[in-house]
Amino acid sequence: MSELVIKNLHVNVEDIEISKGIDLTIKSGEIHAVMGPNGTGKSTLAYALMGHPKYKVIKGEATLDGVDLLSLAPNERSTLGLFLAFQYPVAVPGVSVANFLRTAINAHRKYLDPEDKGISIPEFRKLLKDKMALLQMDESFAGRYLNDGFSGGEKKRVEILQMATLEPKFSILDETDSGLDIDALKIVADGVNAISSEDQGVLVITHYQRILNYIKPDFVHVMLNGRIVESGGPELALQLEEDGYEWLRERHAA
C-alpha cells in the first residue's frame, strides 16, 4: 500500500502565503475530495505538490512512500507516481496524443532504468488501444495533436487517458469538472471510475458537489483561508451544496 502524506504545508505564491498549514494523508484505494470557495488554496496545493516553480513551499513536508517529494524535480515526482490532471490543459500543436503518451512512458522507464530501451511500438499500440477501449474513446483521438482544437470535454478525457496509461500511485484532479456540461462531466467521471483501483489514490479538487455524484469520495475536506478546516464523509459535500460555506466561515472565524 502506498501513502501520500502532507504535513503542515505552507506555500507562497509571488511572496503571498496562500497555503497556511495543510495536513492530509491519502492511501492507496482512497478517494479524497477537497472543496472550498475560490481563492482558498485548493489549486495551490495541487501545483505545489507537483513542483510548479511559481509555488514556493516555505514550510512543511510532503512525502510519497516516505520519499521527500519537495526535493524532487516535477518529472521525478511524476516518475515516483504522482499525476496532475490540469484544470486548463495546454494544447501542443504538432505532437500527437499517441506520441506524447509514448514519450512519457519511455521517460518514466528510462528514469527508473537508464538501460531501458523503451516500450516497443506494438506493445504501446496494444496498451493504448486497451486503455482507450476502457475509457470508451474513439481510436482516432490517438492521431490528433494534443488538445489542439479539442473541446473542453475532449481535453479532460485526454487527461484521464494519460492517467490510465501512466498508472500513477496518486492522481490529483484539479477542478476537472470546470467548464464541462453534464454529459461531458459524466463521461469524464465514468473514465475516472473505470481506472480507479485499490492500487491508486485520488484527490479530487472541486468547487461543487456535482462531480461527487459520479466520483464517490471516501473523505471530503473543506479548505478555507489556506487550511483544511473540516473533514468528513460524502455527507459533508451534500451539506455544502445545501447550505454553502457561510456556516463554516462562522465556525472557524477565529
pLDDT tens-digit map of 122-179? 999 999 999 999 888 899 999 999 999 999 889 988 999 999 999 999 999 998 888 7
Closest CA to 201 of 31, 82, 50, 69: 31
In this prediction, residue 173 carries a pLDDT of 94
Question: Does 146 map to a domain?
Answer: no
Q: Is residue 175 part of a domain?
A: yes
Q: State whether residue 146 is helix, strand or coil.
A: strand
Per-residue confidence (pLDDT) for residue 82, from 0 to 100: 97
- Domain presence at residue 98: no
Question: Which of 27, 28, 29, 33 is closest to 45 using CA atoms?
Answer: 33
Question: Is residue 253's pLDDT more than 80?
Answer: no
* Assigned domain for 36 exists: yes
Cα–Cα distance, 31 to 189 (Å, whole number): 13
In a 3-state reduction of DSSP, which class is residue 130?
A: helix
Q: Which amino acid is at 247?
A: W
CATH number at residue 238: 3.40.50.300
Q: Where are the alpha helices (DSSP H) in the chain?
A: 42-50, 74-80, 97-112, 121-134, 152-166, 182-195, 234-243, 246-251
Query: Is 217 in contact with 234 (CB distance < 8 Å)?
Result: yes
DSSP letter, residue 138: -
The residue written with cell numbers 509514448 in the block is: 102
pLDDT at 16 over 60: yes
Average pLDDT, the chain: 92
Q: Is residue 82 part of a domain?
A: yes
Residue 102 lies in a domain: no
Which pTM value belongs to this model? 0.92
In a domain? residue 27: yes
**What is the number of structural domains in the chain?**
1
pLDDT of residue 254: 55
The residue assigned the cell 471510475 is 193
Containing structural domain, residue 242: 3-91+168-251
In a domain, 159, yes or no: no
